[in-house]
Structure 1
């Protein structure tokens, strides 16, 4: 069976500001500060001054590297997408290398991934991802960033369902992505007690078992 093509991250636009290592480090600091602000307080919290303060750098730094709030938000989305695509590729490679993976192994891997994302640190990043994805959906120029992210997510889901012997790999993969998205939102945003450990694994196991027969 041929290996599916790996998704490519959307090409980054030309950057503003210093192009040396120091400049790249400062840009990275500002983007991490923006991501944290978005995850903690939402997109309205992002201003040049607030991002610079969160990064602990001079107030003029953000406008030196980013022309506008929209550019800063797009670059924050690109940073998150690139990071997540790398992680998706690693997980996809691990599943593909394992060949035929049993239900318990896939259940454990997906459950551990979900639990990583609902820790206090992971929760901030996940909320930032959802905020940025919604913003990108409103602005066509940002959608190419989401396209590469979607390809990586779909590829991982299809690899998982193929390894389990799903009847319809494409359909099962789409349903798996949608179900995990819904589960993560439930765990982060609802008043329900968070699922964890054996309880979370039982839910994921039932989901996978059902999708194999879809």
Structure 2
């Protein structure tokens, strides 16, 4: 799988030394947190600087506009998530051939995203992906993200012996996305750990036979 592409707008503002790169990363992390906690409308140069705990002028020094800041935040988040997906794929390895181990790995991954910090990061992912879908210049970033997700799902389904690996992988990704949104959304009672694992076992078992 090809590595993640660069952010849609190549950064040209601000210091390019180590200190400058660190400050840029801090501002992007602050933007991601704001998006996850309060939505895209909360992102302003001043709000991002305040979240990062730096002078108000810092954000405009590194980013020309809100759109550039959002594009780079999407690129940074995508790069991080693709690296995590690869690590999970490699860690799963031969264990993916064991249904119980795959169920446990998926359940632990979902539960990690339902913690307070995990929820903010996941909401930021969804909001940035929806925003990028409206922005043609961000399509390469979304494509790399999708490839990373599909690769992990297909690795699991191939190891479990699914007959149609590609279709099973797509269905697994869609089902996990829907399950995560259900668990986050208000109005739905959370699944117990046992119920979550039973749901995942039924899902994987059905996809193997699909």
TM-score between both structures, scaled by the size of structure 1: 0.94
**Residue of structure 2 aligned with 1:7, choices 2, 11, 29:** 2
Q: Distance in 2 between matches of 1:83 and 1:100?
A: 23
Structure 2 counterpart of 1:134: 130
Q: Deviations over 1:45-94 (max 9, x none)?
A: 00001101111111110000001100100111111111110010011112
1:7–1:152: 8 Å Cα contact kept in structure 2?
no
Q: Flag structure 2 segments of 5+ consecutive residues without an equivalent.
A: none
Contact 1:30/1:52 (<8 A) preserved = yes
* Counterparts of 2:108 and 2:132, CA distance in 1: 28
Query: 8 Å contact 1:115–1:196 — kept in the other structure?
Result: no
- Residue in structure 2 matched with residue 3 of structure 1 by the alignment: none
CA RMSD of aligned residues (A): 1.1
Matches within 5 A, 1:12-27: 12=7, 13-27=10-24
Gaps of 5+ in 1: 1-5
- 1:176/1:140 Cα in 2 relative to 1: closer, same or farther (>3 Å)? same
Give CA deviations for 1:107-143 in whole Å, capped at 9, x if unaligned. Answer: 0001101111111100000000000000000010011
> How far off its partner does 1:100 sit?
5.8
Paired residues, number: 208
Shift of 1:99: 6.2
Corresponding residue of 1:84? 81
Aligned partner (choices 176, 180, 205) of residue 201 of structure 2: 205
Q: Does 1:37 align with 2:29?
A: no
